[in-house]
């Protein structure tokens, strides 16, 4: 299956080689879950502060991804 991954701020460094900007097209096994995608991208789960699948926020890391999904991952935001 094919999905689009968007990583923001400090997480951009975890995009696969050859990615442009903050997003990448990825080909994954049909059984891939959100957790296995995060693991594949080598993102510590505590740094996946806000996760969106097709624009909807989720913390269901066991959710199975579907062909055509767009996954956006944001790190924790600090401010003052």
Delineate the domains of the chain, giving CATH numbers in brackets. Answer: 2-74 (3.10.20.30)
Mean pLDDT by 10 residues, the chain (80 residues): 96 90 93 96 94 97 97 84
C-alpha to C-alpha distance for 51 and 54, rounded to whole angstroms = 10
Give the pLDDT of residue 79: 60
Supply the pLDDT for residue 26: 95
Q: What are phi and psi of 16, to 5 degrees?
A: -60, 150
pLDDT in the model for residue 18:
82
Q: And the tokens for 71?
A: 């996954």
pTM surpassing 0.75?
yes
């Amino acid at each position: 299956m094919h999905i689009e991954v968007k990583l923001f701020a400090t997480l951009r460094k975890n995009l696969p080689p050859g990615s442009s900007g903050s997003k990448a097209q990825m080909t994954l096994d049909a059984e891939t879950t959100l957790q296995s995608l995060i693991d594949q991208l080598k993102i510590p789960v505590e740094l996946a502060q806000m996760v969106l699948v097709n624009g909807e926020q989720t913390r269901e890391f066991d959710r199975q991804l579907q062909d055509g999904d767009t996954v956006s991952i944001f790190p924790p935001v600090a401010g003052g």
